Amino acid sequence: MIIAQNTSSLGKVGDDQYLRLPDANIVATDSLCITRENLEEVIAAKAMMCIHGDAGLGKTFSVNASLRDIAPQQSYRIQFRARPTPRYIRSMLFDALAIVGKPPSRPAEFDRLLKGVLAEEFRIFICDEAQWQSTECFEYWRHLWDDKHTDMAVVFVGGGDCYRVLSREPMLASRIYIWQEFRRMSLDQVYSVIPAFHPIWEDADPVDIEFVDDKAAHGNFRSWAKITLHTVRALSRAEQHRVDRDVLLRVFSKLGGRS
């Protein structure tokens, strides 16, 4: 069997940033550090883990950033559509593994092919939006991972209801080695993280940073990235360099909701 080079890359550092925000920095938040530590443990144990939490808290970013340092060539990101089937997972794995040739038409034959490839070397599979998968899909992942010949770790990443979805699958849930929940940043964390996140916040008044978080960002990293890009452009239009309340109010008017 001929296997091509890993084409399921984790992408470039800049690709992880929401809206590809210029000049944004990777900040070693508590969540990012914990994610890296947990992934190192999962890889060492060749186990499965679940990372869950509300949208925009940095789950995918933290996984990508960590694995890019730890095991970039062994990591395969599998991005699912809504309500995938085991057949779709087989197809995605075939493509991610860059197996040369035509996919088998029969499930049993397809599974033998995938298991043979998965036995050749250790790999890490990141299953994003895991909450969309059905019982049959979760059972399929368990079937692959349980096989005594396959050599793999699986990282399920999903939104706020991912924990509920996976925990009601007892055969799979009992095999999850680490559960990690992402939560919104506290105000103290915002004070520490945001000035290091982007240059426009370095010399911003802490009162203004608190104002942004209280009125619009709410400890959500994706919201902070969106607000930061709007603010960068507002500062450019106003030909000023320092964030103030007038600029922020103009930014808030673009964020939706009622005044």
Average pLDDT over residues 175-190: 97
Helix (H, G, I), strand (E, B) or coil at 53: strand
- Residue 213 token pair: 């978080």
- Residue 195 token pair: 């000035």
Q: Who contacts 170 (Cβ-Cβ below 8 Å, separation ≥6)?
A: none
Tens of pLDDT, residues 50-82: 999 999 999 999 999 999 999 999 999 987 777
Is there a contact between 157 and 129 (Cβ–Cβ < 8 Å)? yes
Residue 46 has pLDDT above 80, yes or no: yes
Sheet architecture: strand order including 176-182: 75-79, 123-128, 152-158, 48-53, 176-182
Tens of pLDDT, residues 141-174: 999 999 999 999 999 999 888 999 999 999 999 9
Classified by CATH at the fold level, domain 23-182 comes out as Rossmann fold (3.40.50)
pLDDT at position 3 is 42
Residue 184 has pLDDT above 60, yes or no: yes
* Residue 7 pLDDT class (50, 70, 90 cuts): very low
Average pLDDT over residues 207-221: 96
Residue 13 has pLDDT above 80, yes or no: no
Tens of pLDDT, residues 215-234: 999 999 999 999 999 999 99
If 0-12 CB within 10 Å is exposed, 13-18 middle and 19+ buried, where does residue 47 land? middle
**β-bridge pairing 48-53 and 75-79:** unpaired
How long is the chain?
259
Going 12 to 201 to 58 to 31, the CA torsion angle's sign is: positive
d(C-alpha 5, C-alpha 73), whole Å: 9
- In this prediction the pTM is 0.89
d(C-alpha 57, C-alpha 209), whole Å: 18
